[in-house]
């Protein structure tokens, strides 16, 4: 697969723009670590999310899961690409919990574009690269059931 993972130049630019802009709605008064996420859904629509922290720290929700929960509850369960943006360099990658959460709704080929603080800075990995030998819905559900059917 090429570095674009089947996305058009316009989609790549939009993914970066939306993931980066999503940092602006982050609620992170404790860490000041802003994270934005953008999902390109298979119907061509976009969903964004940001991290939402809590005074009880473990209750905090990451940007990736915020975006996915929004998408799933809007009936969007298939994704062509995921963009994650932070203010650090090199770019941060999704945490382990989010990788597993993404796995529920994506196969191993879905690309995750990670953007850092420098203009144009981007690292791309597939979910399979970030979460090898993963456990997913097909391990529990018979064919024809589960989110991706
Ligand atoms: Zn996470």
Is 28 annotated as belonging to a binding site? no
CA 25, 27, 32, 33 torsion-angle sign: negative
Question: Active site includes 64?
Answer: yes
Is 95 annotated as belonging to a binding site? yes
First CA to last CA distance, the chain: 24
Q: Which class is 9-139 in CATH?
A: alpha beta
The model's confidence at residue 148, banded by pLDDT at 50, 70 and 90, is low
Supply the pLDDT for residue 3: 77
Question: Domain segments of the chain: what residues?
Answer: 9-139
How far is ligand 1, taken at its centre, from the CA of residue 118, in Å?
A: 22
How far is ligand 1, taken at its centre, from the CA of residue 35, in Å?
A: 10
Q: What is the pTM of this model?
A: 0.94
How far is ligand 1, taken at its centre, from the CA of residue 115, in Å?
A: 15
Neighbours of 128 (CB within 10 A): 15
> Phi and psi (nearest 5°) for 131?
-140, 70
Distance CA 62, CA 34 (A): 10
Q: Which of 31, 11, 28 is nearest to 113 (CA)?
A: 11
State the catalytic residue, choosing from 64, 104, 121, 138.
64
Pairing relation of β-strands 79-85 and 46-50? Answer: unpaired
Is 108 annotated as belonging to a binding site? no
Is 32 annotated as belonging to a binding site? no
Mean pLDDT on 115-133: 96
Is 89 annotated as belonging to a binding site? no
How far is ligand 1, taken at its centre, from the CA of residue 112, in Å?
A: 13
The model's confidence at residue 47, banded by pLDDT at 50, 70 and 90, is very high
Distance CA 122, CA 58 (A): 28
How far is ligand 1, taken at its centre, from the CA of residue 101, in Å?
A: 9
């Amino acid at each position: 697969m090429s570095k674009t993972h089947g996305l058009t130049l316009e989609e790549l630019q939009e993914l970066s723009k939306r993931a980066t802009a999503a940092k602006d709605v982050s609620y992170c008064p404790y860490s000041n670590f802003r994270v934005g996420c953008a999902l390109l859904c298979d119907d061509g629509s976009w969903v964004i999310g940001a991290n939402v922290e809590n005074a009880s720290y473990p209750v905090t929700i990451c940007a990736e899961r915020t975006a996915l929960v929004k998408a799933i509850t809007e009936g969007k369960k298939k994704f062509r690409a995921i963009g994650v943006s932070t203010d650090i360099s090199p770019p941060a990658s999704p945490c382990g919990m989010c990788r597993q959460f993404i796995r529920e709704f994506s196969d191993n080929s879905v690309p995750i574009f990670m953007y850092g603080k420098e203009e144009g800075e981007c690292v791309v990995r597939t979910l399979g690269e970030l979460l090898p030998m993963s456990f997913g819905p097909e391990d529990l559900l018979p064919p024809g059931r589960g989110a991706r059917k």
